[in-house]
């Protein structure tokens, strides 16, 4: 690797490394998490599920995600971040392949649970790796590199938006099994660039017992925001395709929606949000993300047809993955280096709690009078509450840095 000094890499290499790491969220969220929205309508038709059952399957995935997020830092310490990141991707790929082999609800729920656990480990450890790609002091570049990593989600959404509808068009409703299988194969292919990138990330600074407190308590409103944001955005992502089907859109129209959503996510995360988030302080970036995502939900609730769907895809897609980007950057700025990985892990647990509860409650509401639209209005309410919570969050320097600054001030006064 070309270096500019101890532990530093050239800007071009940094971006290539972050792009390789982005294969993780391609698999973890683009395939394992979000592609289920495309597969839900044919699976529900073929397997005779209610919306509550369909939401329950995503809740199983989210419960696994909670455990994976909570244990992500442990796996990273036990096996090393590179191995934890890669094994998470391998298990996710196997879970995707397994999901195409069975129509049994219990078996699928177990696979969704395993997939949730493994993808959370991949995503949490990968986020920490992405935050370490740039070892210099330029916060805007660090934010841009995290945004490159997060753009993998949008890339995964685009790929699944092409592969799954193709399988459904060729095989009808029964094509859902082929859709899972094809994504599993793509996940296996994604292992090679991810492995190269993980090896290229500079080693983390050594930790010691005397490094002091983590300062997580000062991010408490970020935790509240992440629970509400996770519940709000994932309810939309789980059921929006089913809503569009109910509104009369066909397989390729909903595929166009999904592809536009993924492309908007990748492009906006790469070109827009990294710069914006690097400049905003405290919870302002979190609140802005919530507000834009909320606006993205409204078009499909206030109108119908392909035009409303595309507007929703562009607005919602442009911002929904900016949430993890914003909170990761905020954690890197507010937490001391030794606490960043565990901080991201616990923030992701909060995110996962919201993702576990949101689809289940939204599914129950969707089974009642008012249908899916009633369930999706829950997204609007939760996202509005998340924006309010974010505005309360203030930014502070890491405790270790604050203590050092205080010590220097005392010494200066004594002199």
Q: Please name the helix (run of DSSP H) or strand (run of DSSP E) that holds residue 9, with its range, or none.
A: strand 8-9
Exposure of 317 in the CB half-sphere (CA atoms within 13 A): 29
10 Å Cβ neighbour count for 405?
11
Per-chain mean pLDDT for the chain? 84
Exposure of 125 in the CB half-sphere (CA atoms within 13 A): 33
Q: Output the pLDDT for position 207.
A: 55
- Pairwise CA distance, residues 159 & 92, whole Å: 16
Model confidence over 77-120: pLDDT tens digits?
Answer: 889 999 999 999 999 999 999 999 988 999 999 999 999 999 98
Please tell me whether the overall predicted TM-score, pTM, comes out greater than 0.85 for this model.
no
Residue 137 — left, alpha, or beta (φ > 0 → left; ψ -120 to 50 → alpha)? alpha
10 Å Cβ neighbour count for 412?
8
- Pairwise CA distance, residues 399 & 7, whole Å: 24
10 Å Cβ neighbour count for 302?
10
Task: Choose among 168, 211, 207, 199: nearest CA to 45.
Answer: 168
10 Å Cβ neighbour count for 14?
23
End-to-end CA distance of the chain: give it in Å, rounded.
45
Q: Output the pLDDT for position 135.
A: 66
- Pairwise CA distance, residues 363 & 372, whole Å: 8
Positions in the chain short of pLDDT 50: 1-9, 209-210, 401-415
- Pairwise CA distance, residues 167 & 329, whole Å: 38
> Distances from the Cα of 368 to the Cαs of 47, 50, 361, 365, 372, in angstroms?
20, 11, 11, 5, 9
Q: Output the pLDDT for position 332.
A: 80
Q: Output the pLDDT for position 210.
A: 45
């Amino acid at each position: 690797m070309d270096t500019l000094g101890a532990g530093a890499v050239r800007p071009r290499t940094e971006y290539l490394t972050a792009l390789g790491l982005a294969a993780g969220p391609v698999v973890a969220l683009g395939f394992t998490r979000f592609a289920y929205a495309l597969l839900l309508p044919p699976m529900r038709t073929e397997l005779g599920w209610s919306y509550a059952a369909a939401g329950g399957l995503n809740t199983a995935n989210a419960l696994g995600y909670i455990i994976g997020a909570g244990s992500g830092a442990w796996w990273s310490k036990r096996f090393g971040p590179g191995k934890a990141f890669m094994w998470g991707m391998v298990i996710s790929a196997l879970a995707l392949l397994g999901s195409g082999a069975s129509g049994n609800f219990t078996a699928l729920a177990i696979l969704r649970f395993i997939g949730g656990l493994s993808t959370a480990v991949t995503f949490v450890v990968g986020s920490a790796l992405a935050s370490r790609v740039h070892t210099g002091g330029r916060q805007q570049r660090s934010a841009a590199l995290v945004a490159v990593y997060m753009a993998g989600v949008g890339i995964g959404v685009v790929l699944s938006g092409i592969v799954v509808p193709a399988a459904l068009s060729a095989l009808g409703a029964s094509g859902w099994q082929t859709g899972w299988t094809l994504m599993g194969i793509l996940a296996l292919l994604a292992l090679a660039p991810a492995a190269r990138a993980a090896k290229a990330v500079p080693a983390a600074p050594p930790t010691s017992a005397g490094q002091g407190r983590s300062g997580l308590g000062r991010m408490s409103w970020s935790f509240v925001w992440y629970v509400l944001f996770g519940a709000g955005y994932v309810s939309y992502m789980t059921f929006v395709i089913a809503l569009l089907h109910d509104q009369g859109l066909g397989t390729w129209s909903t595929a166009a929606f999904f592809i536009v959503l993924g492309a908007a996510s990748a492009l906006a995360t790469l070109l827009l949000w990294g710069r914006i988030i690097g400049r905003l302080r405290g919870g302002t970036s979190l609140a802005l993300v919530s507000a834009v995502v909320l606006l993205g939900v409204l078009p499909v609730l206030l109108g119908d047809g392909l035009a409303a769907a595309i507007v929703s895809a562009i607005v919602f897609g442009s911002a929904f993955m900016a949430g993890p980007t914003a909170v990761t950057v905020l954690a890197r700025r507010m937490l001391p280096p030794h606490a960043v990985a565990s901080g991201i892990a616990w923030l992701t647990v909060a995110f996962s709690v919201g993702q576990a509860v949101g689809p289940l409650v939204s599914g129950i509401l969707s089974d009642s009078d008012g249908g899916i639209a009633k369930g999706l209005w829950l997204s609007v309410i939760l996202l509005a509450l998340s924006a309010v919570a974010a505005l309360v969050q203030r930014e502070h320097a890491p405790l270790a840095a604050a203590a050092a600054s205080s010590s220097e001030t005392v010494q200066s006064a004594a002199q």
